Chain A
Amino acid sequence: MKRHHEHHIIHTSEWEQSRIMQWLDKRTGLIHLKREALYEPIPGGARWAYIFGSGLLYILFSQIVTGVFLAMYYVASADHAHTTIEYITKQVTAGSFIRSLHSYGSSAMVVTLVLHMAQTYFFGSYKGRREILWLSGLILFAMIIGMAFTGYLLPWDQKAFFATAVGTNIAGEVPLIGDWLKSLMRGGTEMGTLTLSRFFVAHVFLIPACIFGFVGAHVFLFRKAGSAGPIDEDPIDPKKPTEQFYPKQVIMDIVFATILIGTLGLLSYFSPVELGPKASPADTQFLPRPEWYYLPIFQWLKYWSGQSAVIGIVIIPGIIAALLVALPFIDRRPERRPWKRPIASFSFAIILCGLIFLGWQSGHEDSTDPSVAKQLAKQEQETEKFMKATFEPETMGPPLLIAAPLSPDAAKGKKLFADNSCDGCHGDNGQGTENGPKLIGVSLKFDHDEMLKVLRNPTKKMRDGNMDPVELGDDDMNLLMAYLNSLK
């Protein structure tokens, strides 16, 4: 009887039959969910070519975790951002390692993303009612590129500052809305602390929120369409015998994830990411160089100056983007073998090779131009020097004394303020402490009579906060009030 039962609803393990799992399953559908996840049929069986999608999920997870931890120490302000990253890198236990994991992780993300896209493209896996799946992937691609761009500024070192200055200038080249777009990104006409805040918000809140949504949609749409299988498979109505996602594809995915984690870990441990000296906008010598995956674009833009810049910056990338978006709508044949789709295959290969060539060209030009090579070497030396220097904390003095000198009465009042231990809770200069609120500006909230009243008879809320009635004679009270009135 039990056996017969098993035949129809597949094998259930002892664990799944346990009372706790049954209890949970009835309320959450957990076992069903697990089966949905693990027993996805793959036409033609598991393949190494399919590992990149789940590889991206692993890296995304790693980026989220390391990113959240980095935010424990990071402050997004032009005054402090660089110091906090220096603190993370030089002082915090494992800080350099975790920052490096996050930084190298962004490179791994871009590489794996390109591989995932290339696999989908060459396998023709966007075909067969997968238009929206493809589009959600393209949007994710743009968002990951956006994450790389916004994250690059956050350390606020020379490299980050000038690369972002260039990046936002490029946005300024967009016709009609360029200036507006640039100011919007920078939070003003110049790069400053508002730029950093905006990039931080984009990097930590806006884009990740969209990424979560689109990753969810992407995975859902993928499961809805089903695995497309190998290149000779019918993408809509697969004919090949299928194999379940678990265990073989799972094992392949895990092997890839392990290689990724291992590589990133070893790189981060043995060759941690460096931090350059703090951004100094007045530096006229600095040669900005973007992260390696932006080098092809960086090089590309060198060929388009003045009037023609619009072509290089907007029109050509726009056409490529439009073609990518239109791809599953234009290419509707069920044919998936790359050699039977020569135009599609060649154009993708040409663009890919072109990007690699441009990247190489960029490095080549830098190394062959003596003045550039010299400046870049100097920048490298400055970074090395900065990395060797010991961490210097920012120094905060006691809260600055009130700028205006106190009137004689207020000065006497201040003495009463100290002698009666008001300063114990409200701070030496009425600036407030963890035990009591600040009194600066208190005279704007209460008029003379009200203030006198609450000092003599504190409200319940004040008493609950350990404020005792002030027991001073009228003369002393007036002096104290003179001091309180001076706190503005």
Chain B
Amino acid sequence: MIEERTDIEMLETKPEQTVAIRTDDHDGHRDPSRRSFLRWFLGIGSVSVAGVLSVPLIRFALDPLMRTTTQTDWSDLGPASDFAEVNVPQKRTISITQMDGWRKVVMEKSIYVVKGNDGVLSVFTATCPHLGCSVKWVDTNNQFKCPCHNGAFSPEGKLISGPPPRDLDTLESRLVDGHLQIRYQSFRQLVKTKEVLA
């Protein structure tokens, strides 16, 4: 059914001289090193070509992992004096721009501005560090409450009770010409320490 030849014969035979050597012609003098060399050569050759070709494909597929998608610019919250009179945390909505592949998406995020006892303004994200629900300020309890799993935080954002693993996350803020500016960031949920997500 299938002919048997050594690789030396196969490689050295010119096409016009091609002669089938049937199994029964086989004299048993096969050169195993030659045969396995050819196999290894083809195998390693194919694998390395495939390896080289897969590099751009892998880079192509992994591209989104290497991009910064959230803007890192400062957002303006208006004159700081707006917050001078208030003694309870103030909710504000800011627009931030995110790159979503080939789209630039403007998203609204909620933040709270809190005036500390020393009069210094600090800013929290409204995102609960537990599972990412939006926390609300409840005047009657003088607490931030997460509606999902009843996490409670003090007006300073300290964890009081409930499942959240840490305090509310503060956002970087600064005063420029009397305007309060913040840098919005997202943080990893369910971990004890604040970790920035890109």
Least CB distance, B75 to chain A, in whole angstroms? 14
Contacts of A428 in B (CB 8 A): 93, 108
Which of B30, B38, B66 contacts A93, CB < 8 Å? B66
Residues of A415-441 at the interface with B, using a CB-CB cut-off of 8 Å, are 418-425, 428, 435
- In the complex, the answer to whether A247 meets B7 with C-beta atoms within 8 Å is yes
Q: Name the residue of chain B whose CB is nearest to the CB of A80.
A: B102
Among A93, A250, A419, A422, chain B packs the most CB atoms within 10 A around the CB of A93
- In the complex, the answer to whether A420 meets B23 with C-beta atoms within 8 Å is no
Once A10-B4, A420-B147, A421-B147 are accepted as A-B contacts, the answer to whether A261 and B56 lie under 8 Å apart by CB is no
- In the complex, the answer to whether A7 meets B23 with C-beta atoms within 8 Å is yes
Q: Name the residue of chain A whose CB is nearest to the CB of B20.
A: A241
CA distance A398 to B107 in the complex (A): 6
Interface assignment of A466: CB less than 8 Å from any CB of chain B: yes
Residues of B98-150 at the interface with A, using a CB-CB cut-off of 8 Å, are 99-108, 110, 126, 131-136, 146-150
- In the complex, the answer to whether B103 meets A395 with C-beta atoms within 8 Å is yes
- In the complex, the answer to whether B56 meets A94 with C-beta atoms within 8 Å is yes
Which of A7, A69, A258 contacts B26, CB < 8 Å? A7
Which of B18, B101, B146 contacts A87, CB < 8 Å? B101
- In the complex, the answer to whether A39 meets B2 with C-beta atoms within 8 Å is yes
CA distance A261 to B49 in the complex (A): 9
CA distance A84 to B100 in the complex (A): 12
Interface of B is mostly: mixed
Binds A, one of B57-65, B76-84, B170-178, B179-187: B57-65
Once A8-B23, A39-B2, A468-B147 are accepted as A-B contacts, the answer to whether A396 and B105 lie under 8 Å apart by CB is yes
Least CB distance, A60 to chain B, in whole angstroms? 15
Binds B, one of A44-52, A218-226, A377-385: A44-52
CA distance A44 to B135 in the complex (A): 81
Contacts of A236 in B (CB 8 A): none
Contacts of B38 in A (CB 8 A): 247
Contacts of A91 in B (CB 8 A): 63, 102
Least CB distance, A436 to chain B, in whole angstroms? 9
Once A3-B28, A435-B132 are accepted as A-B contacts, the answer to whether A94 and B106 lie under 8 Å apart by CB is no
CA distance A73 to B48 in the complex (A): 27
Once A3-B28, A11-B4 are accepted as A-B contacts, the answer to whether A242 and B56 lie under 8 Å apart by CB is no
Contacts of A66 in B (CB 8 A): 57
Contacts of B101 in A (CB 8 A): 73, 84, 87
Which of B15, B66, B110 contacts A45, CB < 8 Å? B15
Least CB distance, A42 to chain B, in whole angstroms? 9
Interface assignment of A404: CB less than 8 Å from any CB of chain B: no
Interface assignment of A83: CB less than 8 Å from any CB of chain B: yes
- In the complex, the answer to whether A424 meets B147 with C-beta atoms within 8 Å is yes
Q: Name the residue of chain B whose CB is nearest to the CB of A66.
A: B57
Contacts of A466 in B (CB 8 A): 131, 133, 148-149
- In the complex, the answer to whether B136 meets A420 with C-beta atoms within 8 Å is yes
CA distance A125 to B38 in the complex (A): 31
- In the complex, the answer to whether A419 meets B136 with C-beta atoms within 8 Å is yes
Interface assignment of B47: CB less than 8 Å from any CB of chain A: no
Q: Name the residue of chain B whose CB is nearest to the CB of A44.
A: B18
Interface assignment of A95: CB less than 8 Å from any CB of chain B: yes
- In the complex, the answer to whether A258 meets B23 with C-beta atoms within 8 Å is no
Which of B4, B24, B56 contacts A98, CB < 8 Å? B56
Interface assignment of A210: CB less than 8 Å from any CB of chain B: no
Once A7-B26, A84-B102, A468-B147 are accepted as A-B contacts, the answer to whether A424 and B95 lie under 8 Å apart by CB is no
Interface assignment of B196: CB less than 8 Å from any CB of chain A: no
Chain A residues within 8 Å of B, Cβ to Cβ: 3, 7-8, 10-11, 13, 35, 39, 41, 44-47, 65-66, 69, 72-73, 80, 83-84, 86-87, 91-95, 97-98, 240-244, 247-248, 250-251, 254, 258, 261, 265, 391, 393-398, 418-425, 428, 435, 466, 468
